[in-house]
A and B are shown apart, each in its own frame.
Chain A
Amino acid sequence: MKKDQTIGEVLRERGISRRSFLKFCASTASLMALPPSMIPVIAATLEKARRPSVIWLSFQECTGCTESITRSDSSTLEDLIFNVISLDYHHTLQACAGHFAEHIREQVIKDNAGKYILIVDGSIPVKDGGVYSTIAGMSNEQILKETAAHAAAIVAVGTCSAYGGIPKADPNPTGAVSVSDLIKDKPIVNVPGCPPIPNVITGVLVQFLTFGLPELDALGRPKAFYGQSIHDRCYRRPFYDKGLFADSFDDEGARKGWCLYKLGCKGPTTYNACATEKWNFGTSFPIQAGHPCLGCSEPDFWDAGSFYSALSTPTENIGKTAIYATAGGLLAGAAIGGVLRARKQAAVKAHQRVTIDDLDKES
């Protein structure tokens, strides 16, 4: 496979029909919430795009993100994109190992300086010199900085690399940080989720190849995929509007598929495509399966209070606060009230008898 081929050439070489490609472009357009009329534009642009070189680095992670993309139970349209990109280095997947693997990484950086895409999953531990995760004697931070230095762009896949994720959860023993905490001089596209929807990962790559750097929201996520909240696209939203809520996981409301807000659903504050894109080939998503959204594509989702307490409720023990406040109020009130009472009694004591002679101003 030649490095400077266009994607169209690669596809044809592999015997992928134009119709199959159109089908892929259609599902990608759908994913990006683009109108179907954009499908031919995507197809035309993507065909002419250069086959990109990709380095995939995995740091403190659970491999869930890689699992998400490489589910082995089926070959998918999304495989297409991985067939056409040149995934030159992937910690977890590569067949070779040891110094040879590291050599490949260095070679790719050298050969494609300024052109390759860097995909990162996992957070980067920086505490104690980064000793908590090292590869070939190098800390994750060192590898990231070295690899990022010559990348065209970085895609932070998964909540760990995008925001620190679970490794960063309180008390964050390894000092985990996100990619964007360390790299400030490269375009970074965050593709959070624990894991991200596989189609979204490929979708971001397609979008990148087709339209260049995508428009990002305040949290560095491509708006095309993360532009709307779970809540806004949730099929259970009408129940929310009508005030019909499940109170527990096995009550009538839960069986009838009512809104899971009371059970702690983070849909209203979670921006992701789960509600329409769904998982496992559009089979379902957590809310459809009867479980509230955990908000996994948001920063600090692990520390954002209980998964099962409603968004509107305070996260701390307010009952205790109420008792302390009342007790404190009673004490302070007694003290203040006592002073005021004494002041009033003093005034009564200081009363000067008023006689008719006192009434005239002149007197």
Chain B
Amino acid sequence: MSGAAFARGYNALKEQIDAPIAAFLSSCVHCGMCAEACLFFTETGDPQYTPIRKVEPLRRVWEQEYTFWGKLSKALGLSKPLTDQDLTDWETLVYDSCTLCGRCSMVCPVGNDIAYMIRKTREGMAAAGHAPEGLIGATQRAITIGSPMGVKLPALQAQIRHTEKEFDLKIPVDVEGTDYLCMLSSMEIMNFPEYIGSIARIFKQADVSWTLSSEAFEATNSGIQIGVSDIAAQLVQRIVDAAEKLKVKAVISPECGHAYMAIRWEGPNLVGKRFGFKVVHILEVLDELRAQGRLKVADRETRKLTYHDPCQIGRRGGVLEQPRNLINMVAENFVEMPEAGKMNWCCGAGGGVSTNERADALRLKTFARKKSQLDAVNPDALVSACSNCRIHLEEGLEEYHMDIPLLSLTETIADHLSDT
């Protein structure tokens, strides 16, 4: 471990602190309410998981570098400077026990956006070499191979061929001048290939002009999860380049929650310029098609369905009504879990936690929160719109011996469309 790495991390923390963070840290009254909003605390009862505590390295840097009194007390030896050991101690708190779900940011009485600060803290942690192995590997694969899961173009092409054959339709690739460039997450290629077919069927019926890109199909962004803006910008740039090359009007984020966050909200800021195209989530596109009457439903789902709001799509992304409109279009019996919507509980796998094998046991433990939410409504099937959530939900349901089928919202829509 080199001192140079710590200096780089320390500087990264200094770079991240802005007026909102200064306002947040000035306002914290140590009331502890964020703990009750965090599933890592509620499911373990361990006070170290209190969200605001996770930003302690950032707070120390703020206090000692950016407040007059903090600087003074540091000079007088009244406060300890941040050390590399502190970062080592905080690594599991910043990465393993935070999904950046932002639920704490909703309950803080003084209005602190704690998730915003943890995201920033990760910049310093990663730059100082304190990111978890799992995330480092995924990030390296994303840069070198093009996808965190190591999915390469041939794998996608195989899925495309398979899907074209299965549904007897054509999937456009690298078509210039379409309305939409559709992005995917590698989980959708590897684990849930039905997604590609669903999109193709829906768009065919609704007569949407769209394409995939062979140069940029991966929408997920490990750079954001690990907290390295430089890398995240590189990954976003690939999509920007593809979108500009294909001259599309808009880029569609896949169901994956943090991919949406990465392209829609962080993307322009990462690459440092406004996009010349729109970025929309697939649910926004589908709901718009629904509103325009371009989706025709053949039959309606009779099973009792409930919907899990992926944090980055709902609470942090603002796509809350669209999934409900869409489910109600195809289902007769849609029920809400308690606290659904903007206050929904995270599945436990977001923010890179699912990529971090070290956190597996903790991640499964916190699934108890989702279980109790599900138990309250006892649905026949669970719908969601994030492949990362889906993988973890499946694992969790199995772990807790719950026999509830898991559906992708896009696929559910596709399955109930009339073929005409």
Contact = CB atoms under 8 A, between A and B. Distances in A.
**CB atoms of A and B under 8 A apart anywhere in the complex?**
yes
Interface of A: 336, 340, 343-344, 347-348, 350-356, 358-361, 363
Contacts of B68: 336
B17 A344 contact: yes
B20 to A, nearest CB: 13
B15 A361 contact: no
B127 A358 contact: yes
Contact of B8 (A348, A356, A358, A360): A358
A354 B144 contact: no
Given A354-B230, A358-B5, 10 more contacts: A340-B65, A343-B14, A351-B11, A352-B8, A352-B127, A354-B127, A356-B140, A358-B127, A359-B139, A359-B140
Given A347-B14, A347-B15, A352-B11, A359 B65 contact: no
B66 A361 contact: no
Contact of B66 (A340, A350, A355): A340
Contacts of A347: 11, 14-15
Interchain residue pairs A-B with the least CB separation, the first 7: A347-B14, A361-B129, A359-B136, A356-B140, A347-B15, A354-B228, A354-B230
A358 to B, nearest CB: 7
A272 B127 CA distance: 74
Contacts of A336: 68
26 contacts: A340-B65, A343-B66, A344-B15, A344-B17, A347-B11, A347-B14, A348-B15, A351-B15, A352-B8, A352-B11, A353-B230, A354-B12, A354-B228, A356-B136, A356-B139, A356-B140, A358-B8, A358-B127, A359-B126, A359-B131, A359-B136, A359-B139, A359-B140, A359-B226, A361-B130, A363-B129
Nearest to B16: A347
Nearest to A352: B8
Prevailing SS type, chain B contact patch: helix
Contacts of A354: 8, 12, 126-127, 228, 230-231
A358 B139 CA distance: 11
B129 A358 contact: yes
Contacts of A363: 129
Given A343-B14, A350-B11, A351-B11, A360 B65 contact: no
Interface in B219-236: 226, 228, 230-231
Contacts of B15: 344, 347-348, 351
Contacts of A356: 136, 139-140, 143-144, 231
Interface in B85-140: 126-127, 129-131, 136, 139-140
B302 to A, nearest CB: 49
A359 B228 contact: yes
B76 interface: no
